[in-house]
A and B are shown apart, each in its own frame.
Chain A
Amino acid sequence: MNKVNPLIVSDQLARRQWLSRLFKHFCTGVTFLAVAILGVLIFQVSVAGFGWLDWQFLTSFPSRFPERAGIYSALVGTLWLVTLTASLAIPIGVLAAIYLEEYAPKNRFTAFIEVNIANLAGVPSIVYGILGLAVFVRFMGLERSVLAGAMTMSLLVMPVIIIAAKEAIRAVPSSLRQAAFAVGATRWQVVRHHVLPSAIPGILTGVILALSRAIGETAPLIMIGALTYVAFVPEGPLDEFTALPIQIFNWTARPQETFHELAAGGIIVLLAILLLMNATAVYIRYRGSKR
């Protein structure tokens, strides 16, 4: 053991504390920069679009007259899309995560699957669009239905859900499982009564963040041929549809300035939905941690 030289320590102390303060200020600055950029964006969008937000905007179909145009079909289409995507992607994603964490043997094949899922999470969304067009729209003959869109979106968000669910399941202490096994519980009982209830907040947070991503995606929908002008709302999963990002994209590309303002209005609605979903995630996590 070397003896500590008190002179060197005191000499370095000021420098180290200075470095520590510097790092703190740097982190604060970066955080504020990120928030400021977001603030400017939200401010700009609000200034442009807030005047257009009213009941008529939410309940009208698209129109060539900006004052008559609305996002009704896009809004309902987005809600259809996210509901169907959730009901497809959540069960498959969560069950896959349970299998990989609780049942799958730890061998090369499992590792191979896990690496592939991680890779899939990084594949550009348009690639899923191409796949959806070939498999769901053409091969399965679903045409440009909201179901085809939801299936494509499910593929897109499933890797994210699986990874989030796996992390949440892994975070459940193994002592919990062992205690249950010790009193004679089966694997199913352990998963059902102990692992899942503790992992649910984490799983749901991941699920909602994944669905939030699905709501904002445009590229795969355009690829599978989701429509731009639709003056009806889907009545079933096989009906044609449009979605908010597509409507926003179309309005921003128009020559008339007023349509750009309408697009800003659409963005506010989309942001509100996203915020609502994220707030739900925060609430669920809060409730889960209280238990």
Chain B
Amino acid sequence: MKLILFIGLGFMLAGCGGASDPSSDQGLSGAVRLDGSSTVFPISEAVAEEYLAVQPRVRVTVGVSGTGGGFKKFLNGEIDINAASRPIKESEYERATSTDIGLIEIPVAFDGLSVVVNQDNDWVDFLTVSELNRIWQPDSVVRTWKDVRPEWPDEEIKLYGPGTDSGTFDYFTGTINGKEQASRPDFTASEDDNVLVQGIAGDRYSLGYFGFAYYQENKTKIRSVAIDGGNGPIAPTAITINDGSYAPLSRPIYIYINALSLEKPAVSNFIDFYLANAGQLAAEVGYIALPPAVYAAAGDRVALRETGSSYRGEQPLPMLTAVK
């Protein structure tokens, strides 16, 4: 039964791309279906927009089902590409193996998680990773700023963070608390980062975290905190995130490609275009480009149809892919 379904799917996929005319590059047609993280969406949207000018007859669609929701569709063979703000999970990887879906993992940009405070907060100069851990760990006893450092005000810390469904939450808790989804529960959570910006901007004793792009757009309302990950305090900037010195809170964001979909000329052509332009377009929409070598390495991986994930079961290290 499963086999029949799989063959049927193969025909369907082949049918989608088969209409294209391989003789001329301009004449490509077919469908490229993306879904996944809303964090990665602005990059995919920008790439799709530019690609439309090059290949007007290829129908590129981008959905935002979230990283996990996107993987469900990806593993059902419903989409060609899933955008992910975290690496694939072991359970998802196992499903891919058991259903014979080959996936190619491509990092497309860096996102620096920014820890931010109110504009009028004049005491916080930087935070160490262990201080962040003491604030955010599941059984945290930190109630006031004074509990973090004795010289800070004896005022209650109001905490803000993304909702538990977001990849940002997974990444922050995994990096700071050592376990994904492990967080103190008493913070104001919202899936909409703009709500977090509003909350922090309106509360002098607040502390929160979210994606770098949201900090960058609201620099006049909120202030970012330099993070000391062991090598002295480093503030999140395009430079420190790009060169990896803003550690450990900068993370790569990815797209995962269904290897079978690459047989469709439209998808394969779109991926080449994505890799050639991701760096510039990511920067345009508020993310940090990866070093050029990483895009080149990713291109090789696509050309060789090299499936698999570099991050299976481990905490992602920002520069790992670059080195690889």
Q: Could you tell me which A residues sit within 8 Å of B by CB distance? A: 61-64, 138, 143-144, 222, 225-232, 240, 250, 252-257, 260
Contacts and interface: CB of A to CB of B under 8 A. Distances in A.
6 contacts: A64-B285, A228-B64, A229-B41, A232-B59, A240-B61, A255-B218
Given A250-B64, A253-B193, A255-B286, A229 B45 contact: yes
Contacts of B217: 255-257
A62 B48 CA distance: 10
Given A255-B194, A255-B286, A256-B217, 14 more contacts: A61-B49, A62-B45, A64-B45, A227-B35, A228-B62, A228-B63, A229-B41, A229-B49, A229-B62, A240-B59, A250-B41, A254-B42, A255-B211, A256-B286
B221 to A, nearest CB: 11
Contacts of B214: 255
A231 B194 contact: no
B192 A252 contact: yes
Contact of A255 (B44, B48, B216): B216
B63 A143 contact: no
A227 B192 contact: no
Contacts of A260: 194
B78 interface: yes
A101 to B, nearest CB: 42
Interface in B26-80: 35, 38, 41-42, 44-46, 48-49, 52, 59-65, 73, 76, 78
B261 to A, nearest CB: 15
A75 B6 CA distance: 36
Interface in B201-218: 211, 213-214, 216-218
Contacts of B272: none
A61 B61 CA distance: 12
A229 B61 contact: yes
B284 interface: yes
A229 B145 CA distance: 43
B54 to A, nearest CB: 12
Contact of B38 (A64, A226, A253): A253
A144 B76 CA distance: 14
A248 to B, nearest CB: 13
Interface residues of B, number: 33
Contacts of B216: 255
Contact of A227 (B62, B211, B285): B62
A229 B192 contact: no
B191 to A, nearest CB: 8
| Interface of A, helix, strand, loop or mixed by DSSP | loop
Given A229-B61, A255-B216, A64 B192 contact: no
Nearest to A254: B42
A250 B62 CA distance: 12
Contacts of B63: 144, 225-228
B162 to A, nearest CB: 12
A64 B64 contact: no
B192 A231 contact: no
A250 B45 CA distance: 11
A255 B193 contact: yes
A255 B213 contact: yes
Given A253-B194, A255-B286, A228 B218 contact: no
Contacts of A231: 48-49, 52, 59-60
Interface in B260-290: 281, 284-286
Contacts of A143: 78
B239 to A, nearest CB: 20
Nearest to B49: A63
A253 B193 CA distance: 7
A260 B244 CA distance: 32
Given A250-B41, A252-B194, A253-B193, A64 B49 contact: yes
Nearest to B8: A141
Contacts of A253: 38, 192-194
Nearest to B34: A229
Contact of B284 (A62, A64, A138, A252): A64
A240 B62 CA distance: 11
B78 A229 contact: no
A256 B284 CA distance: 12
Contacts of B64: 222, 228, 250
Contacts of A226: 63
A229 B48 contact: yes
Nearest to A232: B59
Nearest to A62: B45
A228 B63 CA distance: 5
A253 B162 CA distance: 13
Nearest to B192: A253
Contacts of A138: 76
Most buried by B among A231, A232, A250, A252: A231
Contacts of A228: 41, 45, 62-64
A129 to B, nearest CB: 12
Contacts of A62: 45, 49
Contacts of B194: 252-253, 255, 260
Nearest to A239: B59
Q: When A and B form their complex, which 4 residue pairs have the shortest distance between CB atoms, in order from nearest? A: A229-B62, A255-B217, A64-B46, A255-B214
